[in-house]
Chains A and B, each alone.
Chain A
């Protein structure tokens, strides 16, 4: 359900970018998806197929996903560590004053078109 809503947003932005660039068909949309963004990539591509094929501009258009690894910063020791492996607690010093540096992205990186 959540992924479908996101897909509608992607379509809205891609249509706008295509219009601004005078593009009549988009071959691929490349997404940057963070590891802890709450997006399930398989659901996103399934929803994409269903919704994109209803649009002339996006028929057959592939959704490519780049996964951005999640990294957390620790304010207590200044270190960085893998979020998915260690969660909120710093594995180096045991500190809990930590915050997500990256891995939360749901971004459209680029669109690929055939000239």
Chain B
């Protein structure tokens, strides 16, 4: 009878991606390019928030956007039309997230030396993108008011990997049972270090706080 041989591997399936991500971050550091990975549910207002934020930053920073969606290029075209900055569209071909290799392939389409800040708008999904390190310097996520202040309890991993949680659509707060203090507490339980920034992308209220945070981040990244 044939003998079964066992080869021990004992390796997380994310290990290879984590290595790719670290290599990409190092390369971005050398080139002085800051990559932000922006995540959220579909319909939370990522694109509207980005347009507002970029319009506040584009005179001070050279910005580009990479849109990742399963299909279509409506977001990339909308960003370009509303801000005038370069925007490229990535298609994940049915996959629910971007990994470091896909991010790198996307970045290869940009002349990186010409930019200080590249924002990666990840696929609208609170589960898978949280598991795959894209190689970004920081992770941010947008939680919109209609989704509820208990979202951090339901998607703990997403909130634990984010440096910033932007709470969007604050203008409709009176119509929903959304308590900002409770939301802050729920975020804190998952991630004590995460910063919560309430905004209304539609009116522009609070967006300057997010833009200021990003500006400081990029400056610090480029200094060392």
Contact = CB atoms under 8 A, between A and B. Distances in A.
Contacts, number: 79
B17 interface: yes
Nearest to B132: A5
Classify chain A: how many residues form its interface, as a range.
20 to 34
B97 interface: yes
A111 interface: yes
B3 A114 contact: yes
Interface of B: 2-17, 94-97, 99, 127-128, 131-132, 153, 156-157, 189
7 contacts: A13-B16, A88-B153, A88-B156, A107-B11, A110-B7, A111-B7, A113-B6
Interface in A1-22: 1-2, 4-6, 9-10, 12-14, 17, 21
Contacts of B10: 107-110
B170 to A, nearest CB: 26
B97 A5 contact: yes
Nearest to B9: A108
Interface of A: 1-2, 4-6, 9-10, 12-14, 17, 21, 23, 27, 38, 88, 96, 105-115
Contact of A1 (B96, B132, B157): B96
Which label, helix, strand, loop or mixed, suits the secondary structure of the B interface?
A: mixed
A49 B156 CA distance: 30
Contacts of B7: 17, 21, 23, 110-113
A96 B189 contact: yes
B118 to A, nearest CB: 23
B189 A88 contact: yes
Given A2-B127, A38-B127, A38-B131, A110 B9 contact: yes
B205 to A, nearest CB: 32
A112 to B, nearest CB: 5
